[in-house]
Each structure stands twice: as C-alpha cells, then as structure tokens.
Structure 1
Amino acid sequence: MDKRILIGGVLLLALAGGGGWYAWRHQAPPPRVAAPAPAEPPAEVPAAPASAAPAVRYPVATLPELPAPDAPAPSDVPAAATDFAGLLRALLGARAAGALLQGEGLIERIVVTVDNLGREHATPRLWPVQPTGGRFSTQREAAGERIAPSNAARYQAFVRLAEGIDTPAAVALYVRFYPQFQQAYAALGYPRVYFNDRLVDVIDLLLATPVPDGPIAVRLPERTPGDQSPPWTRYEFVDPAYQGLAAGQKMLLRMGSDNALRLKAKLAEMRRALVTPATPR
C-alpha cells in the first residue's frame, strides 16, 4: 500500500490517471414493440459494420499548436535524445529522471498504468516510476488504526516535482509520440478504443476522488496462505466506500489530503491543456 503514486507516470506526460472509464459501453437493447405491418416495405437501411469504432471524443489532432511528428528536438536537447525516453529525461532533468523512471518501454508502461489506475489493481512491476522510499505508516487509536499524518511527508518531494513539470512541454511531448501511445494501447487489447479518450477519463476519475475530513481508518486483513509480503504493504481501508474505489483514487487517499489536492490541481491544469472545447460540426 505504500508504492509511489503512479499518477506521476501520467503527470509526466500531461497524462493522469480518471475516469468514467471509457472502454466499451454495453447498453441494453431497447424493448421490442410490435407494430402494424407497413403498407409498403421500408427502404433498406444498411447496418453499421460490427467492427465500427466508437466516436473519438477527445481527438489529439484538435489540440492547439501541435508539433509535427517529425519536428526537430528543442535546441537545448542533445541531438541523440530524440526518442521518447530521451526527451522525457530532458524534460524532467537527468537527476530527477534517474531517480524516478524505471525500466525499458516507458510508453508501454505508461499506457498500462493509465489503464490500470481506473481498475481495481495497478500492477507495480509495470509502473513507469520507482517505488517511493520509506514505509506506509499508521497510528493506533482506541477505535483502531488510521493513516499517520506523518505518512504524507514521504510524497512531498514527488508532489513538488509534479507541480514543477512544464505542462505545455509535457503535452507537446505526448502529442509528438501519440501514435506510439495509441499503438501500445491497441496491443494491450483495445484496438478500437482511442487512448486519449481513456486518458481524459482517467484524469476525470482522479479529480473525482473524495477528500476525507481527517485521517482515514485502515486495517490489516488476515494473511492468506503463502503470502510473504510485508505487513505495511497489505493495509486496506475500513470504509467500504473507500476500499471500493479505483486503484488510482486509493493512491490519492493514501498520500494525504494536502498532497492529493495539489496533484489534483496539476491534473486539472493538464486536462485543460489536453482538451479543447467542442466545435459545431
């Protein structure tokens, strides 16, 4: 329960973790109502192909001032750093990137993490960022255990880093490599879903995370046979409404209200940069 907030992987790309969780909307068919036979046979209307993709709601092509896919790297970036990982490290700074990022295939890791942040679990081994230092800490009270206020301090440096990210530069980097993000999402098993729609939905979900009035009650569930994990990684929320939230929302709750509100402000800023007002067609 004390892993680094993966919203970082989203924030680093003007991503974030949200939402209404757009994948496929399964709608029940309307009831069949008997009707009198028409006097003349109706004109034949071709059915939509089964493979038709849903409408794109947040097309990347509508973003303002998008760099061309083959646009040259900024002048202050080494010529060799023209791949996504190199440009991301240049955006974050070598020291911060070295301490934060993990593994190869950053685009694939970010896509998987964004998708998982709105689900029940976000698999740590696929995260694009390193686990945060220290241990998840609690305080004992008469009624049980609550998240210790001191636990929030573990995330403060990360929150400051997220707040300092240049939002326009992060969005431009994301847009420049968007075809690779879309390809990675299709390979994940969503060939007909637009990744940027999913991303905006994830941001919206995180922005909707409740803000508790005070320290949150937690408990240690019974250890299952064969579970050798440290106890501080197994805590769960006592309130079923909190425990039932998506993985990304629970991460925000664990990091403390002040940190969560600051990250929400950054997420809202990045959402505004990603989404342009709809225009009449």
Structure 2
Amino acid sequence: MPERDPAEYRPRPESSTSWAVAAVVAAAVAAGAAWWFWWRLAQAPAPVVAPPPDAAASAPMAEASGPQHPIAAQADAGPLPPLAESDAWVAKALGELLGAERVGRFLLTDGFVRRAVATVDNLPRAQAPARLWPVQPAPQRFLVEGPPGAQAIAPANAARYQAFVAFAEAVPPDAAVALYARLYPLFQAAYEELGYPGKYFNDRLVAVLDHLLAAPAPQGPLAVQLTQVRGEVPSTRPWVRYEFADPQLEALSSGQKMLVRMGPDNARRLKAVLAELRRRVVTGEVARRPAE
C-alpha cells in the first residue's frame, strides 16, 4: 500500500468551526474496539490540532530527560518492521488477538499505528479529526428528543454503544497490553514523527487516560442544540451538528464529551476498562512478560 506522508499526522493550528470525537487508547488495543462507537460531529476532513502551550485541555507530557512510565521490552521479542512497512505485521498481530472478523469490522489497519497515536494525542483537545481514527465510523445517527429549542439526548441513544462497551470489556487485558508493549517501538516512532522528539508516547497515553477518567458524569437529560452554521447552503445532515447547551459541558475536550454522550452506565463501564488499562501500562506489570 502507498506510504502515508507523515505530515498528515503532524499537529496543525486548531479549527474552531468543526470537531469530531474519536476513540481512546486504540494504541493499547484493549480499548481500541471501543473507538468504533463514538459520536461523530464533523463529517468534513479536519486538521490534527495542537493547543497553545498553556491550553488547559492538553494533558501534560513527559520531559525530555526520560520517560515517566517506561515500557519494558519483552523477553525474546523478535525485530519489528519499520513503521512505514508495519501495516501488514500489525494487522496480523491484531487479528491474532481480536480475531480477523472483529478487526475487519471495527478497525482500520491502513496506517493503524499512526492513526492510533494521532487520535490518542488529540483526545484531550477540542478536536479529534475523524479522518485519522484507527476505527470504522459508527453506524446509525445520534438520537435526540424534544421539540426544536428544547432538545436533549434521547435515552435510546445509549443503546447504540452497549454492544461495543461489552466488546471492550471482553478484550483480554493482559494479552492486549503485552501486544502493546511488543509494538511499542512503532508507537514511539509514530509519536516522534508526529512532532514530539524527545517525548514518550506511553507517558502521553497515561496522561490521556487520566484525563478521560476525570470526565464528569452528569445525570438526567442532557440538553443539546444545533450548532449555528451561517451560509446559503442548507445542511443535509443536521444530526452531526449537535453540541451541549450547557457551556461547561460544551467546553470539555473531545474525549470527555464522548464519555458524557454515551450515557452514565456506558461511561462507567468504559472507565473501568480504562482504569485497568492504566494500571497495567503505568506499572509495566504485563509488559514485562511475553503474551500467552
């Protein structure tokens, strides 16, 4: 397959006119399948965004002196292909972990490592462009109820995500994190290629997990409204333009908004998966022994 230009994955200035929610921790595979069901708000291609240095939405990254959360190399691990030639190798490894049918259904293996790294890096930001997701877009449309001007997320919307939350819960965490450790040199290479020389992707992953776990869990109906779009051409897909009516919720990052939108029960279950994943990638508990 053609080699992708690394510039596609490099941070660029933020766009304030559109944003999309992508998934979390595809890089660690354990939560990778969960990306598939996250709500898309923007259909047009959007740039990878980079916040200003003092942006509160950006999770902290490690200093260049060394990794805060090092990943231990697996014993007797063979050589990996170069990042630019890794797609087939990674797809095979994902297939062995998740099954070829699930990989084909949920994931985009073309440029998977670069996509996963860019998506994880963008989750604490205002935008996580859909064109860089490592997963297939979710089916069906976002559901709201109520008359115009007084709409809220429909309770039935949560049902769209339940099967995929269950799938994320069923991914074997030990084997998944062991595979992440095995592939880690590729993730690190993609992270440096993205524009972070001297930084460490696993530190960024841990910071992003902490950011997602800190997402609020509001109860009750969540009011939404259509984003105002000025222009003479009417929108033929208005359901992709909903935003929270509550300014505090609307100010959340793309990743935290995803957790809020999927409903409190789905968010609670997915946070449990992410918390267990964080424990493993922080301690290197699984990374120090080969996958079974």
TM-score, normalization by structure 1: 0.76
Whichever residue aligns with residue 56 of structure 1, its letter is: P
Name stretches of at least 5 consecutive residues in structure 1 with no aligned partner: 25-51, 73-80
Is 1:23 paired with 2:61? yes
Which residue number in structure 1 is paired with residue 279 of structure 2? 272
Root-mean-square deviation (Å): 2.9
Aligned-residue offset at 1:136: 0.1
Name stretches of at least 5 consecutive residues in structure 2 with no aligned partner: 1-17, 36-56, 81-86, 285-292
Aligned-residue offset at 1:3: 7.3
Secondary structure in structure 2 of the residue aligned to 1:210: coil
Aligned-residue offset at 1:230: 1.2
Which residue number in structure 1 is paired with residue 207 of structure 2? 201
Aligned-residue offset at 1:223: 1.5
Aligned-residue offset at 1:130: 0.7
Deviations 1:39-75 (A, max 9, x none): xxxxxxxxxxxxx8244211112x8xx3443189xxx
Which residue number in structure 2 is paired with residue 126 of structure 1? 132
Task: Tell me which structure has the larger Cα radius of gyration.
Answer: 1
Separation in 1, partners of 2:27, 2:259: 13
Separation in 1, partners of 2:177, 2:92: 16
Whichever residue aligns with residue 265 of structure 1, its letter is: A
Is 1:53 paired with 2:64? yes
Q: Which has the higher contact order (CA 8 A, sep 6+)?
A: 1
Separation in 1, partners of 2:156, 2:200: 40
TM-score, normalization by structure 2: 0.73
Secondary structure in structure 2 of the residue aligned to 1:7: coil
Whichever residue aligns with residue 120 of structure 1, its letter is: A
Aligned-residue offset at 1:20: 6.5
From 93, 103, 128, the equivalent of 2:99 is: 93
Query: What pairs with 1:1-281 in structure 2 (closer than 5 Å)?
Result: 6-7=23-24, 9-10=26-27, 12-13=29-30, 21-23=59-61, 53-61=64-72, 66-70=74-78, 83-140=89-146, 144-225=150-231, 228=235, 230-276=237-283
Quick one: structure 1 residues 164 and 211, their matched pair in 2 at CA, closer, same or farther if it must change by over 3 Å?
A: same
Whichever residue aligns with residue 138 of structure 1, its letter is: V
- Percent identical pairs in the alignment equals 47
The size of the alignment, in residue pairs, is 238
Separation in 1, partners of 2:123, 2:66: 23
Aligned-residue offset at 1:7: 2.2
